[in-house]
Amino acid sequence: MLALRAEQGKNFWKHWKKKTPLISSTEISAVFCMNKHKTRNQLFQEKKGKPRPENDCPATRHGRLWEPYAIGKVLEHFPEESWEFRRPGCLKAPPVCASPDLVLFSLEADVMIGLEVKCPYSAPIPKRKEDVCSEYLFQCFSCLMISRANSWLLAFYDTEYDRAQVFEIFPDSDLWERELLPRVEDFLRTVAGNTDLDRPFGRKGKKEKSLEDVLRRKLLDKTREREDLSSHPENDAYQ
């Protein structure tokens, strides 16, 4: 695993992502046709060098504005005398890479926990793990496996009521190494060897749709709801 210091969204970060033949944690769900914002063909075109559309919209600005508050809400449960907080930049473990929001290291035990926060602009925050969209599950699971953390927290912050709903995702080497990474590698081989810049991938068939259901179920099986971190901020979790 290699850590690269580059601030998300800045020019160097954008240039590095464009020139690097890796799939990021935010992109990996598109490889499996499970990203509601990007198709597999769109991801292919970006990896072949097609400019990415600028993602500067009210929802994106809302997320950037409220991210520090969301992180702070979760960190209320992790006292500074017991935990060290780091923002590692970009983590590379080819063929994937990730840029975590935060990584927490216990000062009392050999424990490392990652954190990803989401601040929905208009959609309600999910109350159950079954309500979490697949692309966020893929993103956090990828960060978890790349960093080799003990677990990964996915927190949705409600800006109106100043509360967070938190989920925790756990590692699964078989799922990562035998089911996800081989398909990511196949996708990148298609990018490297295909000169068709339009639509190298056809429509999803029954086999792929069945795979979606299987992968989502497996990711949900590795996820649990953390009500102690969500609804009752006076609780002292992980102490």
- Mind listing the pLDDT tens digit for each residue in 117-154? 999 998 899 999 999 999 999 999 999 999 999 999 99
Helix (H) or strand (E) holding 37: none
More confident residue, 98 or 196: 98
Whole-model pTM: value is: 0.87
Q: What are the start-end ranges of the H helices in 76-153?
A: 134-147
Q: Residue 172 — very low, low, confident or very high, per pLDDT cuts 50/70/90?
A: very high
75-78 long-range Cβ contacts below 8 angstroms, 24+ apart: 76/233, 77/228, 77/229, 77/233, 77/235, 77/236, 77/237, 77/238, 78/104, 78/237, 78/238
The confidence score (pLDDT) of residue 10 equals 52
**Amino acid (one-letter) located at 19:** K
- Mind listing the pLDDT tens digit for each residue in 15-39? 555 556 899 999 999 999 999 999 9
Q: Where are the domains of the chain?
A: 2-230
Rounded to an integer, the average pLDDT of 69-86 is: 96
The confidence score (pLDDT) of residue 234 equals 45
Domain made up of 2-230: CATH architecture: Alpha-Beta Complex (3.90)
The confidence score (pLDDT) of residue 177 equals 98
- Asked whether the predicted pLDDT for residue 41 surpasses 70, the reply is yes
8 A C-beta contact, residue 181 and residue 95: yes
- Most confident segment among 149-153, 190-194, 233-237: 149-153
Rounded to an integer, the average pLDDT of 189-196 is: 83
Rounded to an integer, the average pLDDT of 44-62 is: 84
Mean of all residue pLDDT scores within the chain: 88
* DSSP reduced 3-state for 103: strand
Residues in the chain: 239
Give the Cα separation of 200 and 44 in Å (integer).
Answer: 8
CA 237, 80, 61, 55 torsion-angle sign:
negative
Q: Residue 113 — very low, low, confident or very high, per pLDDT cuts 50/70/90?
A: very high
The confidence score (pLDDT) of residue 197 equals 64
Query: Within a 10 A sphere around the Cβ of 221, how many other Cβ atoms?
Result: 12
